[in-house]
Amino acid sequence: MSDALVLSDVRHSFGRTLALDNAQCRVRRGTVHALLGENGAGKSTLMRVAFGLLSADGGRLEVDGRPVHFRSSADAIAAGIGMVHQHFLLVPALTATENVALGGRGLLHRARAVARVKAFADRSGLSADPSMRVDQMTVGAQQRLEILRALAHDSRVLILDEPTAVLTPEEGMSLLRWVRGFVDGGGTAILITHKLREALAIADDVTVLRRGRTVLSRPRVEVDEAMLVEAVTGDAASESALALPAPARRPTEPVLALDKIDLIDGRGVTRLRDASLEVYAGEVVGVVGVEGSGQRELLRILAGRLRPTRGRVIAPRRVGFVPEDRLADALVPEMTLTENLVLAEAGSARGRLDWRAATERTAALLVSADVRADGPSALARELSGGNQQKFVVARERARSDAALVVEHPTRGLDIRASARVWDELLRAAREQQLAVVVYSPDLDEVRAIADRVVVCFAGNVRAMEGGTAGSDRASLGRALLGVN
Amino acid sequence: MDALMALWDGAFGSWYAVLSATMVRATPLLLVGLAVALAFRAGVLNIGAEGQLLVGASAATATSLVLTAWPRPLAILVMAAAGALAGAGWAGIAAWLRRRFAVLEVISTLMLNFVAAALVSWLVRGPLQEPTGVYSQSATIPESARWPLLISGHRLHLGFVVGVLAALGAWWILTRTAVGFRVRLVGASPRAATSAGGVNVARTVTGVFLVSGGLAGLAGASEIGGVTWSLYEGLSPGYGYSAIAVALLARLDPRGVIATALLLGALEAGAASMQRSANVPAVLGQVIVASLVLGVLGAQALRYRGLLRRGGVAKEAGA
Amino acid sequence: MIDSVLVPLLEATVRTATPLLFAALGELITERAGVINLGLEGSIIAGCLAALLAAQVGGVPLGFAGGAVAGLAVAALFALGVVGLRTDQVITGTAVTLLALGVTGTIHQSLVDVAVPTAAIPTSGSVAVPLLSHLPVVGPVLFDQPLATYALYLLAPVLAWWLASTHAGLALRATGERAEAAAAAGIATTRVRWAAILFGGMMGGLAGAALVLVQVGGFNEGMSAGRGFIAIAIVVLGRWTVRGTVFGALAFGGAFALQYLFQTSGSSVPYPLFLALPYVLTLVLLAVQRGERAMPAGLAKP
């Protein structure tokens, strides 16, 4: 049996971050190939290279045994590769038929195009209403349409990026059944997923990426759950740069508390279910969870930026919040650091602003938080990512004397800058006695700093027993991946 | 060369040129330019200053005509307030449409400009038409409502001082107060203003919209009270659109608006005299201004692209 | 009553709407690609002057060609900014309009000074369509019009068909709605926007040519008189469809015709307010149509 798609020694970096480090992936024709790994392991990046959306810095690509070079996704489509993106690339205001027809030439015969969509829908078993606009479809229907569109372009290799993440369990099941059928009919499917169970249930072959490298590549029959957990999570845990002792005795009253929280979003999807959490002064609680498991919502409720549908929240009046997208949500890149410091009280300030005092406060903060900048009048965008983040963390520490909520603080930072940011958070808890809640997709990071870890999976929040010591990497990894 | 000399003479050649031509023409540009600069600073694309000016001029005229017996300072104050309020109200329609229905203010303010022009057109033929009913213009406003001249024998009037004070005041508020800081934040990054600053963006935007309209309306009152003394259709030769150039060339800095308004005023005054004495078309001034604006826009865009390239930021993080 | 008032009114409506519809159909295509072109007014005024100059050399056909080219050139300047350099659409468009108004005024004044007082040319008259023009009411209103109007009878349905029934039209719509998705489907969105802006400018130029060669017969400074902005209003009023744009142009044309009628009849009706009606209607429609999302989702985004 020949190979449908082979990626060899693929390298790619985003700025200074190495996303793919000689990654390998061999996909046999007529199989379901599961591509596993944690967030940031390089799965999507590798597949974006395979689909021509990214041009790799190095490595080789073969389709059906022939070496190819894709300059754009149009080349990949022509070579018979289709990709279903995690965030769908459909035009909301157009109908299903029009979305499928997009990118063609010449005349657009409406009746013929509709018939074609119908035919593909019938043949593939993916139901679709050809004349319905995308913005009126359910998420499941949009995904089926994305697949239909790939099939309509004669895709023989289908890449599905986290296809079940946005679906209800029933929709997810039926999608996986469909994928099996597609492969049995001669197609090839690559399934990017975090969910081990899903991979084990459907895949013929499994490849695991960790930190941009291929760490496992075997037929399904040769692996079991334990092997995969180990491969996905690895063993190497980095050491904490700081060894400040955990609080000896827990205070009686929590600073932050959620009691039986439910959150239902605008589309009626339950994002959090019966979630409870207590955070005490002086401790760091780590939150882990794969993308879309409810951790983002959990943090925003704690920070007072989102109101739950049901349940009780206890929080101090002011909570420091470090959002993930710091350049969009935490800083104004074109303003000075002094102005960015005053930003924190912009909503409540009255009358005249004392810029001289603010400049002095900024200068003091730059020293105390070790932010490297050309003084308080430097523009926020002139700082490196690490210094921007240290500045934001220091500002948010000053905002509240009780609690600090932090979302993926090391996104885009190199190891050294990350370590400094973690130090800063640990200090906030130990020296300033703040209740600190941190989300990070990196298990090692969380384990290194958090006193306790809670896991989000599909809207459920579960505390790991026995603190970080008790939550060894394997059991944490299993909880993260929805394996009990 | 003759043309350039004529241009210079018309703008700065004599005290008369400066005080009766350049600065008089700069006055409405100053107030309206300030209106546009403030709005743009908050990310409000108010291109309806023209209409706000016309409505302000109409309200100021209507008010003045009934204030015959009032003492002068009070009459001027009331007619100016009427103009500002009317301008703010006119802008308020667009602000409300944006807040309530998410209508793009570019489209709504543009539409309202035409409605305002039609309104003036109706007023000067109907309710506000001069008593003889011959001309399409209002009666002359009473002495009590006319704005004082600053230097006798010259046409420069109180409006210029009002404009300069407004510009300095706006600069002070923008740079020194919490309200001004919120305005700048909302313009620079509504997301950070909401997320990190807890700023009520919708309220700030509406407030700026009203103030911007008020300044444009005040410009209308100033033209009526200081220059024309009556309302007619061609009152504004597109001040509301020239104001966009004034604001942009000043890089949206209120202090800079004083300078660019004078520059544009000088160009217009000079161009008019250039046409009289050197037979060079007056609209050449407009060409110069528009080219300057396009140049500034292009330069800014190129600088920004250069920044992006040097930064080498890859937005996609591998997942 | 019908023959003496209604027929002339309707005839004037169609005649007044002709240049408006040229510009509005162009702007419709531009906006469906996600670009709002406030430089359209500049294309129109450039088209006015170029049409006059070209027509003096080569008659009416060359006049229209000249108008189209001038409108296109102005739009190219706009596209260079907003597509090439990604400058702000609203500000760039306004600046381009100011520039075109200034340049045309300058050229015109320098020509007037050296040559004849006002270069006037005879307008191309209406051409009655055999048989059809004898129909009651409809005949004189629709089929005794200048050739430019007939061109629109053809162009409007062709554009509607092109938008709905060609892949190019689909690519244009997708670009205006969600450029990122269009690009992922292999569409060169930059090229699409350039083409859409140039087409819009060309139509603006033709609108100017129609104004000069069919209606006025000469050039005045600023004679475009806001028609470019009106065209934008028409597109909004027409809810970004060809059919709606045609009716929108007729609504504005009707408002103008009605105003002329009252103006000349010396009636006491407050006719200037009729001018405001279509704009008010546009605003009301904008407010109430929320949720139906007729507007291209990517409009005015870089």
Q: Which tens digits make up the pLDDT trace of B195-232?
A: 898 899 999 999 999 999 999 999 999 999 999 999 99
How many whole angstroms separate alpha carbon B173 and alpha carbon B37?
Answer: 13
CB contact under 8 A, C287 and B100: yes
Using CB atoms, pick whichever of A89, A93, A107 lies closest to residue C165: A107
Range A248-268 burial, b when 16+ CB lie within 10 A, else e: eeeeeebbbbbeebebeeeee
Residue type, C129: V
How many whole angstroms separate alpha carbon B160 and alpha carbon B155?
Answer: 11
Whole-complex ipTM: 0.85
How many whole angstroms separate alpha carbon C62 and alpha carbon C36?
Answer: 29
Tell me if A275 sits within 8 A of A458, measured CB to CB. Answer: no
What is the DSSP track for chain C? -IIIIIHHHHHHHHHHHHHHHHHHHHHHHHHHTT---TTHHHHHHHHHHHHHHHHHHHHHHHHHHHHHHHHHHHHHHHHIIIIII---HHHHHHHHHHHHHHHHHHHHHHHHHHS-SS---PPP--EEPTTGGGSTTHHHHHSEE-HHHHHHHHHHHHHHHHHHHBHHHHHHHHHHH-HHHHHHTT--HHHHHHHHHHHHHHHHHHHHHHIIIIIISS--TTTTTTHHHHHHHHHHHTTT-HHHHHHHHHHHHHHHHHHHHHHHHT--S-THHHHHHHHHHHHHHHHHTTTT--S-TTTT--
Sorted by sequence, the CB contacts under 8 Å of residue B207 that are 6+ apart come out as B179
CB contact under 8 A, B47 and C279: no
CB contact under 8 A, B318 and A212: yes
Say whether residue A177 is in contact with chain C using an 8 A CB cutoff.
no
Q: Is the model more confident about A66 or about A232?
A: A66
Residue A470: pLDDT over 60: no
pLDDT score of C210: 94
Instruction: Return the C-alpha torsion angle B182, B187, B192, B198, nearest 10.
Output: 30
How many whole angstroms separate alpha carbon B132 and alpha carbon B151?
Answer: 34
Distance, C-alpha C149 to centroid of its chain? 12
Q: Report the pLDDT averaged over residues A196-208.
A: 90
C186 to A74, A444, C165, C173: CA distances (angstroms): 5, 40, 19, 14
Instruction: Return the C-alpha torsion angle B112, C44, C144, C58, nearest 10.
Output: 170
Say whether residue B245 is in contact with chain C using an 8 A CB cutoff.
yes
| A438 bridge partner residues | A286, A406
CB contact under 8 A, B47 and C90: yes
Nearest C-alpha neighbor of B147 from the set B52, B216, B211, B219: B219
The alpha carbon of residue C95 is apart from the nearest alpha carbon of chain B, in Å, by 5
Sign of CA dihedral B182, B185, B186, B187: positive
Q: Report the pLDDT averaged over residues A383-390.
A: 87
pLDDT score of A241: 43
pLDDT score of B180: 95
Using a CB-CB distance cutoff of 8 angstroms, which residues of chain A are in contact with residue C173? 91, 93-94, 98
User: Quick one: three-class SS letters along chain A?
Assistant: CCEEEEEEEEEEEECCEEEEEEEEEEEECCCEEEEECCCCCCHHHHHHHHCCCCCCCEEEEEECCEECCCCCHHHHHHCCEEEECCCCCCCCCCEHHHHHHCCCCCECCHHHHHHHHHHHHHHHCCCCCCCCEHHHCCHHHHHHHHHHHHHHCCCCEEEEECCCCCCCHHHHHHHHHHHHHHHHCCCEEEEEECCHHHHHHHCCEEEEEECCEEEEEEEHHHCCHHHHHHHHHCCCCCCCCCCCCCCCCCCCCCCEEEEEEEEECCCCCEEEEEEEEEECCCCEEEEECCCCCCHHHHHHHHCCCCCCCEEEEECCCCEEEECCCHHHHHCCCCCEHHHHHHHHHCCCCCCECCHHHHHHHHHHHHHHCCCCCCCCCCEHHHCCHHHHHHHHHHHHHHHCCCEEEEECCCCCCCHHHHHHHHHHHHHHHHCCCCEEEEECCCHHHHHHHCCEEEEEECCEEEECCCHHHHCCHHHHHHHHCCCC
Low-confidence ranges of chain B (pLDDT < 50): 307-319
Residue A206: pLDDT over 90: yes
How many whole angstroms separate alpha carbon C247 and alpha carbon C237?
Answer: 9
Sign of CA dihedral A469, A470, A471, A473: positive
How many whole angstroms separate alpha carbon B274 and alpha carbon A414?
Answer: 64
Strand, coil or helix: B13? coil
Phi, psi for residue A314 in degrees, rounded to 5: -110, 125
Report residue A302 as tokens. 């704690």
Q: Report the pLDDT averaged over residues A178-187.
A: 91
pLDDT score of C190: 92
The alpha carbon of residue A264 is apart from the nearest alpha carbon of chain B, in Å, by 21
Tell me if A50 sits within 8 A of A6, measured CB to CB. Answer: no
Sorted by sequence, the CB contacts under 8 Å of residue B308 that are 6+ apart come out as none
pLDDT score of A305: 85
State what percent of residues in chain A have pLDDT above 90: 31
Residue type, B302: L
Sorted by sequence, the CB contacts under 8 Å of residue C92 that are 6+ apart come out as B294, B297, C39, C78, C81, C82
Mutation site, A91, A149, A153, interface C, largest C CB count within 10 A: A91
Instruction: Return the C-alpha torsion angle A330, A333, A335, A338, nearest 10.
Output: 50
Sorted by sequence, the CB contacts under 8 Å of residue B235 that are 6+ apart come out as B54, B57, B120, B220, B223, B224, B228
Low-confidence ranges of chain C (pLDDT < 70): 1-3, 113-120, 266-268, 289-293, 302
A244-258 confidence digits (pLDDT tens): 556 555 667 888 989
Say whether residue B199 is in contact with chain A using an 8 A CB cutoff.
yes
Which residue do the tokens 């027509």 mark?
Answer: C55
Phi, psi for residue C60 in degrees, rounded to 5: -60, -45
Say whether residue B299 is in contact with chain C using an 8 A CB cutoff.
no
Tell me if C294 sits within 8 A of C288, measured CB to CB. Answer: no
pLDDT score of C164: 92
pLDDT score of B309: 41
Q: What are chain C's partners, defined as 3 or more CB pairs within 8 angstroms? A: A, B
Sorted by sequence, the CB contacts under 8 Å of residue A166 that are 6+ apart come out as A86, A139, A143, A292
pLDDT score of A467: 55
Tell me if A101 sits within 8 A of A114, measured CB to CB. Answer: no
B 65-94: CB under 8 A from C: 93
Sorted by sequence, the CB contacts under 8 Å of residue A189 that are 6+ apart come out as A31, A32, A33, A157, A158, A159, A160, A179, A182, A183
The alpha carbon of residue B298 is apart from the nearest alpha carbon of chain C, in Å, by 7
Q: How confident is the model at residue A15 (pLDDT cuts 50, 70, 90)?
A: low
How many whole angstroms separate alpha carbon C70 and alpha carbon C67?
Answer: 5
The alpha carbon of residue C150 is apart from the nearest alpha carbon of chain B, in Å, by 29
Say whether residue B129 is in contact with chain C using an 8 A CB cutoff.
no
Q: How confident is the model at residue A159 (pLDDT cuts 50, 70, 90)?
A: very high
CB contact under 8 A, A346 and B182: yes
The alpha carbon of residue C163 is apart from the nearest alpha carbon of chain A, in Å, by 10
Using a CB-CB distance cutoff of 8 angstroms, which residues of chain A are in contact with residue B202? none
Using CB atoms, pick whichever of B196, B199, B312 lies closest to residue A330: B196
| C114 burial level (CB within 10 Å; 0-12, 13-18, 19+) | exposed
Say whether residue A106 is in contact with chain C using an 8 A CB cutoff.
yes
The alpha carbon of residue C25 is apart from the nearest alpha carbon of chain B, in Å, by 17
Nearest C-alpha neighbor of B44 from the set B206, B220, B258, B215: B206
Q: Which long-range contacts (CB under 8 A, 24 or more apart) does A253-256 make?
A: A253/A280, A254/A278, A254/A279, A254/A280, A254/A314, A254/A435, A255/A279, A255/A280, A255/A281, A255/A315, A255/A316, A255/A402, A255/A403, A255/A434, A255/A435, A256/A302, A256/A314, A256/A315, A256/A316, A256/A319, A256/A403, A256/A435, A256/A437
pLDDT score of C74: 97
Tell me if C81 sits within 8 A of C93, measured CB to CB. Answer: no
CB contact under 8 A, A108 and C181: no
